[in-house]
Copies of this chain bind each other. A is one copy, B any other.
Amino acid sequence: MACPYQVCEWRSPEDLTKLLDLELGEAGQAPAQTLQHCRDAIHYSVKTNHPHFFNQLYVGLDHYAMVGSFVTDATQPSLYTYEMAPVHCLIEKVVLEKMMEMIGWVEGGDGIFNPGGSMSNMYAMNLARFQRFPEVKEQGLSACPRLVLFTSEECHYSVAKAAAFLGIGTKNVYVVPADQRFADFHTEYGRITEYKILQGRTVPFMVSATAGTTVLGSFDPIEELADVCEEHNLWLHVDACWGGAALLSNKHKHLLKGVQRAHSVAWNPHKMLMAGQQCSAFLVRDKTGLLQRCHSACASYLFQKDKFYDISCDTGDKSIQCGRKADAFRFWLMWKALGTRELERRVDHALEMARYLTEGIKKRDGFRLLMEPEYTNVCFWYIPPSMRKIPDSPEFWQKVAPKIKERMMKTGSMMVGYQSHGINANFFRMIIISPWVSTKDMDFVLDEIHRLGADL
C-alpha cells in the first residue's frame, strides 16, 4: 500500500523541544496558534495507522472505532452508575457477553473494561487470591501464608509488575522455562509443593498462561494447564490480550483450545482488532459476584441503596477505578458496522500475511527465521553480506538490528521493533495487524531492511 507520507519524522528530544513551543504561560493565545500546535503534534507523532508501522501489538484504529471515540469524547460518560451512563452500562454488558460467548462460557460470567492488559492481569491476580483467601481484603497479606504463582518465561512483564504492586513480590512468581511450554510444570509444581511442606507457609494459588506472547506470539497449552490447575486447585488465568482475537477465526481459534476452562481471561480489542486504545476487557467465569465482592467499597455518594431503578446496572463498584471511560463503545460500534465475519476475515488476513512474510524470509539470502510463527509475530535476523561468511556468531549480529532501526527511524520509511531475547542476539519482530496491508508491503519490509543494512 503506497503512502504519501512517512511513518515518522524523527527529531531528537533536544531538537523537538526547540521545534515545539511547549511552555505554558500566563496569557492565552489566538486560535490559529492552537491549531498550529495540533498540526505540529500530528506532524511529529508516529503515524500508527501507516501501512508500514509494524512496531507494536497495535496499529492505529479502525475508522468506525475512531468515530466512536469522538462520540464518547464529546459526551464524556463515566461508568460509575446506570444513572450517569445508561447507554454505556448496557453496551459494556453486551460486549462482555459477546466476548464470553467467543471464549465458550456458555453460562456467561462477569467482567469489566479497564485501562489496559496490565490492569487486567492485576485484576486476575487479586481475584485469584481473594477467592482462595477472602480475608486478604480486610486483613491484608500479613494474615495469609506466602502466596506463589506460576507463569512461563515468555509471559508479559505485567505479571511481574502485578506481583510487585499487589504485595506478592516478584520472587514469588515462579517462571517455567518456555522452551518446555509448561511441560515442566508438574516438576516445577512438585518442587514448590515440597518447598511448601518444608516451609509450611507457601501456597501456590494461580497459573497465568499466555495466549499470544509479546515477543514470539506463541500460545501456552491451555488444555494441559487447565488439567493441572483442576488437580491442584489453582486459579487459571489466560492473558489473551494479544491472542484473544484468534477466537474470532474458525481457522485459528484452535490456538486457544481449552480457554473456556480458564477462570479468567484478559483480552484487548485495541490490539489485533484495532478498536483504539484503551479497549481492554477483563473477563471472569464466576457468576456469584466475586468481582464485586473482591473490589467493592460501597461509596455512599454513588451506590445509594434507595435508588428508583435496578441497581444491579450500577457496575462501578466492581472496578478498582472510580471514574471510568466508556471504552467498550468504540468496539461495539465497529463490530456493529463490520459484523463478526469481517472481523474474522481481518484476523485471517493478518495471519496469511505473516505466513507470506515467513516464506519470504526463508527464501532470501541474509535473512534467518528465529522460529516458525504461530501468530502474526514474525521474528528474524538480517545478516549483512559482510557477516554472511562468518560461521554462526550471533554476537556479530547484536549490533545490526539497532543500527538498521536507527536508519529506519531517521528515514521514516517504516517501523519494526527489535530486541535481544534470552540467548538470542538482537532480532527483528514484525507485527502484522492491519487489514489494509498486502503482500507488496511484506516484500517492501524485507527489501527495505536489506537496503538499510547491506553495507554494515
Contact = CB atoms under 8 A, between A and B. Distances in A.
Contacts of A309: 12-13
Contact of A166 (B58, B70, B167): B167
A70 B71 contact: no
A420 interface: yes
Given A34-B337, A170-B138, A295 B45 contact: no
A333 interface: yes
Interface residues of A, number: 148
A42 B73 CA distance: 11
Given A115-B115, A117-B322, A141-B169, A61 B90 contact: no
Interface in A128-146: 136-146
Nearest to A39: B71
Contact of A140 (B86, B171, B340, B420): B171
A38 B94 contact: no
A76 B58 contact: yes
A402 to B, nearest CB: 5
A170 B137 contact: yes
Q: A-B pairs with the 7 shortest C-beta distances? A: A140-B169, A167-B167, A28-B339, A115-B115, A157-B297, A141-B167, A301-B419
Interface of A: 8, 10-13, 16-17, 20-29, 31, 33-34, 37-38, 40-42, 44-49, 55-56, 58, 60-61, 64, 66-71, 73-78, 80, 82-91, 94-95, 98, 115-119, 122, 126, 136-147, 156-158, 160-161, 163-172, 201, 214-215, 270, 276-278, 294-295, 297-301, 304, 306-310, 313, 320-325, 329, 332-333, 335-342, 398-399, 402, 405-406, 409, 417-421, 426, 429
